[in-house]
Structure 1
């Protein structure tokens, strides 16, 4: 038997469950209704008595049942599960901004890494023979042993890692247990270890490793607690770099409700701002967070690009402005962490807010010293995040130029100039076009090239494919550049 209890006034040890609800389009309606039905209903604004009194654990989906069993077996009497502990009708915007507290204060977060939906079991027979074995010597004979899957793959490959909400659930957690079908994995700021293995120290904060193309056992790139560790330091440069790493990890993920684009990382944004404010970092009142970008390093955050152009029909420009990565469709990979030096002529001027000030205490532009010190970071951080979601227009100053500067530039096909140089490398050959200004566009991946007659070529990356809806732009404000409009592209210098 379990029951829902109010949060105690004194600190207690509790666990948190991070899991995937599942894709409603791939399961029977009755199964999805059972998952949704596990939520706590309210009566007159309060949880129904059925949940405040002991009730049968079997009424919950299997992932939740097993998470409760695992937590209790480890000696923890409390567990927080979103679908149960956030009653229906609760202000979800407010709750989303508090996720850094829910996960940050937990004894550990249990991530259901082997589950595709909330009705999957965590506790099941271990079928080790399904894993690829490796041969090892034993008393001059050979035997087979189970190869350990590295933590990097456990973190980024399972279904739960494709869900947008689980990114902040992992990175806001000081301690994480990854539960898979074959073994468990542990990660904290001090070490990472797989069941039956030896602890491995994570990469130090001072190092900023790049992703490895292949992951092997023991080669752990970075700790999932790196973000929290940097929040405890005053190294703003590394903290901004970590935010861009979060962006790269977040954009390929999916959301059932696309309008939750900002809510699903609200806790991370609040924690980021609070870290900067706590260390006396550069903050600009409630205008610090701007649609997923940060004002004090705006040029660097503006330097994101897609890895390949995508279909514009599912763009989220009703959620975020076009200058934000959040306006892209879901499940799109971007590059955000790139070597970058801001342009000396680029300057952030102002932000235009179309929405009124939030009703959250601390949302106004009042001096922080006029607020209750005990609530300063909590209220202002939440206010900054909430207000930042509404940012649509920013005013900047810098140098502009046309991407295709020569009006006489001739369009050529991409295939006529690109050459394969072997080893997966490509280049360009302009020998058939001596002394000519040209431009070309790759209609498959959105790359675009401009070459002046007496200068080298410049290659850009468009966000969207040319075709768009029906092959033609319905208005001049379409999110994509239609074919024939390439000479209208204008570039803003933000850095190098």
Structure 2
């Protein structure tokens, strides 16, 4: 006969109690600032892990915040379990009786104080549907988007196959009526949201564009800037992977109560996971952890919510933000309601607010390195770079959509800056925009006839001009190339039709260099380093190379030293150390080599990669200026 011992309540440790008291007692009034001294907390990851055996809040923070990040760095930093922890409070608010605090957590490796990770953790031809009445139908409103029309737009992921869409065969029927029970759940949720807000019209791409009419598709795709910027509200189904899952995907765990310290299973002595019963409450590292706990001396329990990242970054990691078409919807919409399983977020041009009451004002959001919601006039000059680096990581069901899906963003940015675009590059910043480098695996083929000089020719994550000497790029730089001719000819509307031909003529310093991708660096660094033939390397230095680089589609002759023609694009000089950084393109001749000396036409090359060499002396000292055509 066995007797089951009653489990003792798992109270928070004294340090966590101090943190909770610091947040709650320091805010007597709404949005007041905490003025008392910050309390101490655990100073190493080892202390947090040991405390998590008895403290449910330490355990929750360990699972939600530290463990996922430590798994990423333990390969390079075997001592990550004993990293130093420093805690700093950011903004504090009390909203609707709920206390919120942003906690900035830095992990550093011993005496070097090398920061490994920073974590923010927190406690038309428009044809909308008429949704004003029960009857749904397509409405044609002419060729120009009406300025006074109040309509909503839906931002969603199509998935593999749409259950319903408008075709030439169904258009007439849909103009009479669309049976509501025929709509997938995401569409029905959007209709319900629009109705509840008394928004009379709803624009859904699958229904408002005739999908098998290529001419209409090209015309409508070119109007995305006006469609989303003119929308009263964009409804974003953030977590749905297709149109059947709804704006609020089903999650049975949401119906369970928060984790209670009286019910929590004890931690395994030699592992990092809980022993859980089938009905025990659980949150994955990607979701919020909500716990209910008692504080010694307090008459009532405290509910604490812990989630890695800020509300903004949480929304940005959802499935919808991995899709290519969605970036323009996020950038161009004036108001967005982000629908997620555990929360609903509101975003407009002035504020970001969660359903739970947490608020991020526009100034704070502008300081977020991941924020791209505000216009380029309010951001630094790397706005376009940030947008396109984000865009390059996104996925497309149809790879040929990568250029059309940029149309609205291009129009928006060009309107604000007054600049002219060249397939993802801009004339005013052409030199900088040429300096893109692949930093990830190639996902697929580019659109037909895409020239090699644009990053759109490389379906992979990229970075634009990452070769700065400081974070603020304040050191002197010299641009060496001159854009002489540029032309892109389309088969129909620009950006949404096929590229027929391009012409780009530039002049700049040209020099032959012989190098290879160093096999040792390829296994450790992204991008890898290039080894110039004959260059002595200091093997005692963990990074002995002086030249970093990458081939756009992989190294043509792996492991072999090959001579390439290189075009010097930009030189930066470190004002304090007198060192140089020379960024250059790696070129490959196109066509018959015997025709390259034709005086009537400049020789034609294609870009195959990029490099940047640093050193006390210039590498391109003997370069000769030449005229070339890039294709």
User: Which one of 444, 449, 456 corresponds to residue 531 of structure 2?
Assistant: 449
- Counterpart contact for 2:346–2:352, Cα < 8 Å: yes
User: Which one of 432, 439, 443 corresponds to residue 307 of structure 1?
Assistant: 439
- Counterpart contact for 1:403–1:450, Cα < 8 Å: yes
1:132 maps onto 2:289 in alignment: yes
Q: How far 1:109 sits from its partner (Å)?
A: 0.7
User: Which one of 404, 408, 415 corresponds to residue 267 of structure 1?
Assistant: 408
1:492 maps onto 2:568 in alignment: yes
Q: How far 1:392 sits from its partner (Å)?
A: 3.4
1:14 maps onto 2:14 in alignment: no
- Deviations 1:376-396 (Å, cap 9, x if unpaired)? xxxxxxx5x569966633111
Aligned to 1:323: 453
Q: Distance in 1 between matches of 2:342 and 2:223?
A: 33
1:107 maps onto 2:239 in alignment: no
1:41 maps onto 2:175 in alignment: no
Aligned to 2:40: none
Structure 1 residues 450 and 333, CA, compared in 2 at 3 Å: closer, same or farther? same
Q: How far 1:465 sits from its partner (Å)?
A: 6.4
Greater share of strand: 2
User: Which one of 488, 510, 513 corresponds to residue 400 of structure 1?
Assistant: 510
Q: Distance in 2 between matches of 1:82 and 1:335?
A: 30
Q: How far 1:151 sits from its partner (Å)?
A: 2.7
Q: Distance in 1 between matches of 2:150 and 2:311?
A: 26
Q: How far 1:93 sits from its partner (Å)?
A: 2.0
- Deviations 1:64-83 (Å, cap 9, x if unpaired)? 11111111112212110000
User: Which one of 477, 480, 489 corresponds to residue 345 of structure 1?
Assistant: 480
Aligned to 1:333: 461
SS at match of 2:570: coil
Aligned to 1:81: 204
Q: How far 1:412 sits from its partner (Å)?
A: 10
So what's the TM-score if we normalise by structure 2? 0.55
Q: Distance in 2 between matches of 1:400 and 1:264?
A: 35
- Counterpart contact for 2:510–2:565, Cα < 8 Å: no
SS at match of 1:87: coil
Q: Distance in 2 between matches of 1:115 and 1:412?
A: 41
Structure 1 residues 17 and 451, CA, compared in 2 at 3 Å: closer, same or farther? same
Aligned to 2:5: none
Structure 1 residues 136 and 302, CA, compared in 2 at 3 Å: closer, same or farther? farther
Aligned to 2:317: 157
Q: How far 1:345 sits from its partner (Å)?
A: 2.7
Greater share of helix: 1
Aligned to 2:139: 5
SS at match of 2:189: helix
Q: How far 1:7 sits from its partner (Å)?
A: 2.5
1:462 maps onto 2:590 in alignment: no
- Deviations 1:184-230 (Å, cap 9, x if unpaired)? 1011111100002132212379x6x474xxxxxxxxx53x431xx33
1:373-452 matches, within 5 Å, as 385=495, 392-404=502-514, 414-415=519-520, 446-450=528-532
So what's the TM-score if we normalise by structure 1? 0.68
- Counterpart contact for 2:433–2:464, Cα < 8 Å: yes
- Counterpart contact for 1:40–1:48, Cα < 8 Å: yes
- Counterpart contact for 2:402–2:447, Cα < 8 Å: no
SS at match of 2:428: helix
Give the paired residue count: 385
User: Which is worse superposed, 101-110 or 91-100?
Assistant: 91-100
- Counterpart contact for 1:96–1:263, Cα < 8 Å: yes
Q: How far 1:136 sits from its partner (Å)?
A: 5.8
Q: How far 1:452 sits from its partner (Å)?
A: 5.8
Q: How far 1:317 sits from its partner (Å)?
A: 6.5
Aligned to 1:475: none
Q: How far 1:148 sits from its partner (Å)?
A: 5.4
**Structure 2, unaligned stretches of length 5 or more?**
1-134, 259-282, 538-543, 573-631
Aligned to 1:71: 194
Structure 1 residues 299 and 444, CA, compared in 2 at 3 Å: closer, same or farther? closer
- Deviations 1:127-168 (Å, cap 9, x if unpaired)? 465442245656355444444573333332222111110111
Q: How far 1:251 sits from its partner (Å)?
A: 0.7
Structure 1 residues 2 and 495, CA, compared in 2 at 3 Å: closer, same or farther? farther
Answer 1 or 2: higher relative contact order, Cα 8 Å, separation at least 6.
1
Aligned to 1:179: 339
- Counterpart contact for 1:291–1:390, Cα < 8 Å: no
SS at match of 2:191: helix
Q: Distance in 2 between matches of 1:412 and 1:292?
A: 28
- Counterpart contact for 2:518–2:529, Cα < 8 Å: no
Aligned to 2:176: 53
- Counterpart contact for 1:442–1:448, Cα < 8 Å: no
